[in-house]
Structure 1
Amino acid sequence: MDDQASHNSFVRRCFAVLAIVALAAVILALGNLLLLIFASLVVAVILRAIARQFMRFGLPQGLSVTLAVLALFALLGSVAWVFGGLIITQFAALAVRIPEAIDATQVAFDSWGIDYDVRQASRDIMAQISGLSRRAGSFAVSAGGAVTNVILVLAGAIFFAAQPELYREGLLRLIPKEREALARKTCDDIGRALGLWLRAQILSSFIVGILIYVALKIIGVPSAAALAIIAALLDFIPFIGPVFAGIPAVLVAFSVSPVTAAWTLGVYVLIQQLQGNILQPIIQKRSVDLSPAVLLFAVVAAGSLFGIVGILLSAPLTVVGFVLVQRVYIEQVLQKEPKRPAGGASAE
């Protein structure tokens, strides 16, 4: 009996490894398309969260999702109407100030005897960004451009949000019957983890943006609103995002004075510490317990495989990967108790 049990356990492990390898091959072959689908699912989670507020009044699911879409567009339109002129002006000014700031920083470094080519470093950074863009750009060109991809993501999100049970049940029909219960629990965990992560991350980004804006206005850094928006958006990218957000801010501050640049660097370091030691643990507590090293290398891996799109989606991709590892490998292969979203233990 022991030999038979060991044999069965070995076979299960082999099948698990083969399944992981096959899944990795499919992801690499259809990476860009799968990223579009995943982006639609992430947006669908947002729409479902908004639609749930309308469902509380007894409205049908389809109507609630429609109202959620209208509410989201109304919110974005209102922000653009009220702040659009200011944002465009600040970003235009920022685009003009960046080259001037690079030259001012180079002059300051030369006067201090610091042998560092800031201009070359800026060109290297732009080359890296262009490389990432080209890595994700071939699919965008073949599919009709970035605008087409955005429309596809929004359309897919509306369909997913309007009838999530239809697509989930269709997916579950592809799963062997003896594994259907596991797949159902995994889908539930993924949906819950993504929803919790999104809500906490949006709150974190909002707080970071407000803090950056207030601090830069106090210091006297130009284009504070544009720099705060950049910081809030890049906060969605763990670790790497805040670093890249601080580079243009420090350069612009150098165009004012080295002292302003030093204060700006201190502000970004302080807020990064606040985000990493207070806001990020809150996000993990309300979604999944991911270690900082896992998040960091997930960003690097996603960027290497899928370019900028992969970097933007690296955090939710890691959340989904964590749930899959817990349910498929930890629970089924190792026969251990899996961790569930929001730090809870499995409650079968």
Structure 2
Amino acid sequence: MFSSLLPEPVRRLAAWCAVVLLVTGVAAVGVWLCVTFQAAVTPALLALLGAALLGPMHRRLVRMGVSRSLAAALTCLAVVAVVGGATYVVVGALIDTGDQIVSALVRAGQDLAEHFGAAGTSLQDLASNAKELLAKFGGTAASGVITGISVVGEMIATAILALVLIFFFLRDSHRIAGALRALGPRSAADTVEAMARRAFLAVEGFMRGTTFVALIDAVFITAALLALRVPGALGLGALVFITAYIPYLGAILSGAVAVLVALADRGWVIGLWVLGVVLAVQMLEGYVLQPLIQSRTVQMHPAVVMLAITVGASVAGILGMLLAVPMTAAAFGVASELRARYGAPGQAPAGPAG
């Protein structure tokens, strides 16, 4: 055969190229299917993240003697109560302090324009023509009431479907392992189950760790803003909590907004103090909280996280940015399980992960 005439390094390179092309093709088809059926995929992924976050609560209720169905229903009701209350508080804080934040940002743009001359002219233009910019870039979204009602209705339907799926995921979680073993080949049943468990544990750890870290960041930064008497402190703290689910990028955006607001309303000294607080909180998160809280989950390099966020944003916008990192964590969990099973020559496959 012709392949026998090629040297061994060339044959290996050709084999790896074929594998890369195959994996890329499968991934491209998977992304295309997800985009095509996003009306069903989006609630399923959101429900998966919700089940990963709420799994410990459901398991605790089951251990207390509550039936699985009732425990799942109580967990979903708790989610509705907590999310509804948090949304009310966050939206109320943003509405109450929104004017202060916007006016402070406008003054920050004007101050920068005065200090830096021509370099800040664009900022001043953006501040003075904010309404025109909003009308220009938001024209499509605000073109008609029917479009707005349709978007809101789609969001409500997605949330309801995701909540229903969370109930079923929690209630039937003990059957999922058996279903996966039944779908896969008998010889690979243990591997398939172990991969699924490792992926879910990675997503579960990421969601719990991110929520806890976001809460700590929001509490520290809000307390500092209140102590420094920065306007809109509660709204800025709510913004810090929300954007914390977008790793690295969210912290940069919310921190920049807080610094600009403090700079415009309280002067350079307070602005520098806020900058120091934001940097200190981010260092605490990066060097203490993240390694301590997420030490048992898949650790990803910041460059991988940024690339995942970029790809997610290009595919599905803000929703893609939110889903990209936990899905990447699941993929890293699967790769870690495969490496543990087949990486070392002669190593016996381990049992399913706990």
TM-score of the superposed pair, with normalisation by structure 2: 0.78
Q: Which residue of 2 aligns with 1:70?
A: 77
**Structure 1 residue 275 displacement after superposition:** 1.3
State the AA in 1 paired with 2:183.
Answer: L
Name the amino acid aligned to 2:62. Answer: M
Q: How far apart in 1 are the matches of 2:60 and 2:203? A: 18
Query: 1:211 corresponds to which residue?
Result: 220
Q: 1:310 aligns with which of 310, 320, 323?
A: 320
Alignment pair present for 1:30 and 2:34: yes
The equivalences for 1:99-118 within 5 A come to 99-114=102-117, 115-116=119-120, 117-118=122-123
Matched residues in 2 for 1:241 and 1:264: separation? Answer: 17
The residue type equivalent to 1:45 in the other structure is A
* C-alpha displacement of 1:72: 2.9
Cα deviation code 1:240-297 (max 9, x no counterpart): 0101112332232233133232322222122112212222222441311211211121
**Structure 1 position 270 matched with structure 2 position 280:** yes
1:193–1:288 Cα contact (<8 Å) kept: yes
Q: Distance in 1 between matches of 2:195 and 2:306?
A: 24
Instruction: Tell me if structure 1 keeps the 8 A contact 2:101–2:232.
Output: no
Change (3 A) 1:283 1:21: farther
On the 8 A contact 2:196/2:334 being kept in 1, the answer is no
Which residue in the other structure is 2:200 paired with?
Answer: 191
> Counterpart in 1 of 2:54?
47
In structure 2, relative to structure 1, the CA distance for the partners of 1:121 and 1:180 (3 Å cut) is farther
Distance 2:42 2:335 in 1: 19
Question: Quick one: distance in 2 between partners of 1:208 and 1:318?
Answer: 23
Provide the C-alpha distance between the structure 2 equivalents of 1:89 and 1:202, rounded to a whole number of angstroms: 21
Counterpart-to-counterpart distance in 2, 1:18 and 1:172: 25
Which aligned segments of 4 or more residues in structure 1 are displaced greater than 6 angstroms? 10-13
- Amino acid corresponding to residue 100 of structure 2 in structure 1: R
**Cα deviations by residue, 1:159-200 (Å, 9 ceiling, x for unpaired):** 111112444544443323332221110111112222222222
Aligned-residue Cα RMSD (Å) equals 3.6
CA distance in 2, matches of 1:176, 1:24: 25
Residue equivalent to 2:262: 253
SS in 2 for 1:222: coil
Query: After superposition, what is the alpha-carbon deviation per residue over 1:278-335, rounded to whole angstroms, capped at 9, x for unaligned?
Result: 222224413112112111211111111221001112221121111233345x457xx3
Match of 1:96?
99
Q: 1:62 to 1:90 in 2, by over 3 A?
A: closer
User: How many residues are matched?
Assistant: 324
Q: Evaluate the alpha carbon distance shift between residue 74 and residue 193 of structure 1 in structure 2; reply closer, same or farther with a 3 A threshold.
A: same
Which range is displaced more, 108-117 or 196-205?
A: 108-117
**Contact 2:107–2:264 (CA under 8 A) maintained in structure 1:** yes
Report the Cα distance in structure 1 between the residues aligned to 2:113 and 2:84, rounded to whole angstroms: 46
Contact 1:200 1:286 survives alignment (8 Å): no
Q: State the match for 1:341 in structure 2.
A: none
Q: 1:298 aligns with which of 291, 308, 312?
A: 308
| 1:336 match | 343
Structure 2: state its 5+ residue gaps: 142-146
Cα distance in structure 2, aligned partners of 1:142 and 1:206? 29
CA separation in 2, counterparts of 1:337 and 1:239? 34
Which structure has the larger Rg over C-alpha atoms?
A: 2
Aligned to 1:343: none
2: CA distance, partners of 1:24 / 1:249: 39
Structure 1, unaligned runs of 5 or more = 339-345
Residues 35 and 310 in structure 1, CA contact (< 8 A), matched pair in contact too: no
Deviation larger for 164-173 or 240-249: 164-173
Residues 36-69 of structure 1: CA distance to partner in whole angstroms, max 9, x if unpaired?
Answer: 3111111112232211111121222222212222
Decide whether aligned partners of structure 1 residues 110 and 313 sit closer, same or farther in structure 2, where only a CA change above 3 A counts.
same
| Residues 60-69 or 29-38, more deviating | 29-38
Amino acid at match of 2:64: F
Cα–Cα, structure 1 residues 193 and 246, in superposed 2: closer, same or farther, change >3 Å? same
Q: Aligned partners of 1:337 and 1:121: how far apart in 2?
A: 58
Aligned-partner Cα distance in 1 for 2:51–2:72: 9
Q: Give the distance between the partners of 2:180 and 2:335, measured in 1 at CA.
A: 19
> Secondary structure of the residue that 2:297 maps to in structure 1?
coil
1:315 and 1:130 mapped to 2: Cα distance? 28
| TM superposition score normalised by structure 1 | 0.79
